[in-house]
Amino acid sequence: MIITRWLSYAVVLAWSLFVPSVSAHKASDSLLTLERNGAELRGQWDIALRDLDVAIGLDANADGKIEWGEVKAKHAEIANYAMSRIVISAGDKPCTLSVTEHLLERHGDGTYAVMRFIGECHQVWADTMLNIDYRLFFDIDTQHRGLLKLNNNGHTRSAIFPASQPRQEFKVNQSDATQGFLDFVGDGIKHIAVGFDHILFLVMLLLPAVLIRTDQGEKGWVPVTTFRRALLNVATIVTAFTVAHSITLSAATLGIVSPPSRWVEILIAVSVVMTAIDNVVPLFPAALHKRPWLIAFGFGLIHGFGFAGVLQGLNLPRADLMLSLIGFNVGVEIGQLALVAFLLPAAYAIRARSIYLRVVLTGGSVATASIAAGWLLERSIDFQFMPF
């Protein structure tokens, strides 16, 4: 403490004015957010009113208070001042920036003027360099900094512009887009891996795939005779499920339909309960038992809405909705195929043993039905009591 005080009083001797600041305030920053939207550039720039007041004088009556009317009267001046102090170039040519909206925002250390703007760039700024030349306030405040957030295909980059580094260059190429796509593939895989309800539903459909439902044999099941037959069963089921959930996933993500998520969740639980019970006590008509892919398709439509809920939670960049949608779907598919690759050979190998019928199919279905019934109750009364 001694030394810090010492610092403060060093100058006091000469000017009797200086103590290092001990403040709840911070030095001046502006927050610049840029977003690529196809070839278009969208931006938001938050600039502290306190700084603008120093630069162009907002407090017209100099009463120490800034009123909305005072700011509104200066909107054009604020836009001119700020926009003449930034140059954003795609490739070699500067983009034309135009302010579309003036708003306010309260940040931690005061109120900021918010300008939303769009930029028209001569070059499509995919696969090019984005140059930013930031000069705001450096002439009146050497400690000012521009804090940039650059959103490109769902990827956020950040940078700081201090007075010593007003010009910076950012690569915005396709690899970012590819990376975004791969991320969504990952999200899809993850969702299948941790989405217990989807896994159980698939398992309930896949367990009987190595069997044939008849009037003979133990409890009406006989094993398939060839692996080819089992594989064909599985392939039709998985394909039908995929087609179905792709349809509803796309429809929901593109905003064509938007069923209430609570009902979707409840119906997903219902789908698992019904499919599981059907493996023990036939519920569905015989026509469906001959074509289990129809069940997969029907319920797949519901599961698709469930996936859409997840995808919306990921905050998709509008510009690349289709790409991320496909990525997510591919991820879900990979997850499903991994499950099949693991399950099918094992099930096929022991399909003829009584343990498969009694323990795996019957026991597994009963257990699954109980779990799913629990979900059903949870989701119906909107109260979570189960650990998964």
Partner 1 sequence: MQIKLNRNAVGLATLGIWLLISMPSIEAAPYIPATDGEIIDQSTSNTGKAAAALVRETRRAHAVLNQQKNNLDLALRIAQHNMRRARIESDPRYLGQAEAALAPWLNQTTPPVSVLVLRANIRQSLHQFALARLDLEQVVAREPRNAQGWLTLATVAQVTGDTATARKSCSRLTGLTDAAVQAACTSAIDGATGRATPAAAALTQSLQSSRRLNREQRGWIATLQAELAERVGHIDAAEKYYRQALALDPRDAFATAAYADFLLDQRRAGDVLKLIPAATDSDILHLRRVLAAHDLKLADAAAMADRLAMRYAIARTRSDQLHLREEARFILHVRGQPAAALALAITNWQIQKEPADLRLLLEAAVAAGQRPSADIALAWLDGTRLEGRAMAQLAAKARRL
Residue numbers 164-183 binding partner 1 by CB under 8 A? 164-165
Is residue 25 near partner 1 by the rule CB under 8 A? yes
Question: Binding of partner 1 at residue 13 (CB under 8 A)?
Answer: yes
287 binds partner 1 per the rule CB under 8 A: no
CA 229/CA 222 separation, integer angstroms: 13
Contact (Cβ atoms closer than 8 angstroms) between residue 143 and residue 26? no
The secondary element (H helix, E strand) that includes residue 116 is: strand 110-120
Residue 107 interacting with partner 1 (CB under 8 A): yes
With CB under 8 A as the contact rule, which of the stretches 57-65, 75-83, 266-274, 285-293 interacts with partner 1? 57-65
Q: Single out the residue of 39, 76, 140, 338 in contact with partner 1 (rule: CB under 8 A).
A: 140
- The pair of three-digit structure tokens given for residue 193, joined into one six-digit string: 């891996």
Binding to partner 1 (CB under 8 A) within 230-249 occurs at: none
At 41 the three-state DSSP class reads strand
Among 114, 294, 314, 377, binds partner 1 (CB under 8 A): 114
- Residue listed under structure tokens 């019928």: 357
Our finding on whether 104 is near partner 1 (CB under 8 A) is yes
Pick from 110, 217, 282, 313 the residue near partner 1 by CB under 8 A. Answer: 110
CA 114 – CA 112 distance, rounded (Å) = 6
- Residue 245 in contact with residue 201, Cβ under 8 Å? no
Q: Exactly one of 38, 57, 220, 282 binds partner 1 (CB under 8 A); which one?
A: 57
Enumerate residues 119-138 that contact partner 1 by CB under 8 A.
138
Per CB under 8 A, contacts with partner 1 among 293-352 are none
Chosen residue from 77, 81, 85, 109 binding partner 1 by CB under 8 A? 109
- In one-letter notation, the amino acid at residue 228 is R
Does 160 bind partner 1 (CB under 8 A)? Our answer is yes
Number of residues that bind partner 1 (CB under 8 A): 78
Q: Helix (H, G, I), strand (E, B), or coil: what is residue 317? A: coil
Q: Which stretch, 151-159, 220-228, 306-314, 352-360, contacts partner 1 (CB under 8 A)?
A: 151-159
What count of other Cβ atoms lies within 10 Å of the Cβ of residue 276? 26
Q: Which two tokens stand for residue 323?
A: 């790409």
C-alpha distance across the termini of the chain, in Å? 54
CB 136 within 8 A of CB 145: no
| 35 counts as binding partner 1 under rule CB under 8 A | no
Span from 145-153, 216-224, 230-238, 239-247 in contact with partner 1 (CB under 8 A): 145-153
Q: Which two tokens stand for residue 246?
A: 């792709």
77 makes contact with partner 1 (CB under 8 A)? no
152 binds partner 1 (CB under 8 A): no
Number of Cβ within a 10 Å radius of residue 56: 13
